[in-house]
Structure 1
Amino acid sequence: MKRLKHTGSIREYVKEFSLMLEIPNMSEKELLFNFMDNLQSWAEQELRRRGVQDLATAMAVAESLVDYRRGDSSKPKPQSKGNHAKGGGDKGSQGYTSKEGSSKGPSGKGGKGKDKRKEFTPRTNCFLCDGPHWARDCPKRKALNAMIEEKRTRAMLKWDRCNS
């Protein structure tokens, strides 16, 4: 468990960590601690800021972070003009005129504004079933969680029998 570190993408880390859930005799708190402890600092900080309390939530939030971050990193950072703190900015560099800056449509450049919006939508698949959704929205996730809980219960019963 200690050898697993978040070095690549969060999606890869979440996938590898979910495979580690098969290890018996680890409490939910231990699993959550290990998951958080091995994240890169920026991701751990964001999960703590959001106040995640359980492993399933932590994994879902972490997966949403990677999708958001990929969308941001795929575009070049614009030069800072305007009031970015309040959501403003240089509207002209986004393909909109000042009047059309309220996202009414692109400025006569052949639909370039719509193409830009499509570019930033996450195009990832669920790592649990490879479906067109995030793992946190996976219809098979409940079944997976039920199987994991059943394995934990069996392991605890075996442990109780051995120690009785």
Structure 2
Amino acid sequence: MKKTAFFPGSFDPFTKGHADIVRRGLKLFDEVIIGIGTNSQKKRYFSLELMTQKIREAFHESENIRIISYDDLTANVAKEYGAKFLLRGLRNTTDFEYENTISQVNRHLIAELETVFLITSPELAPISSTIVRELHKYGAKVNDYLPYDLE
């Protein structure tokens, strides 16, 4: 039986930290679906089309990675794509508190949906999409934080 993990996020932008979680997730799962979700609480800085293109570039060599976009509950989308696992990265205890709550709700919605947490690699822990957006907004170079070239 194929083990599929769904890696959801707004990925605005998709960072080296996200890429690290996907690559490490491939050691556990047969397929990882990267789901670029619409967050009703956020307005995108980088377009959905640009992020989809850049993520495809970053994983062009990987046949067992799919990239989708969605506007629905994450649990519903995971079920639709046959994913029994949600893959999430944790940088710190704040991330854990937030992700744990979401994990419990997802499990309530779909009982067989398990969330698998991977601890971020130490050298990537300081990277966040929020910081990268802020740097980019003010003209700083951000390619060191991304698994693709933005400029």
TM-score by length of 1: 0.25
The structure, 1 or 2, with the larger RCO (C-alpha pairs under 8 Å, 6+ apart) is: 2
More helix by share: 1
Higher strand share: 2
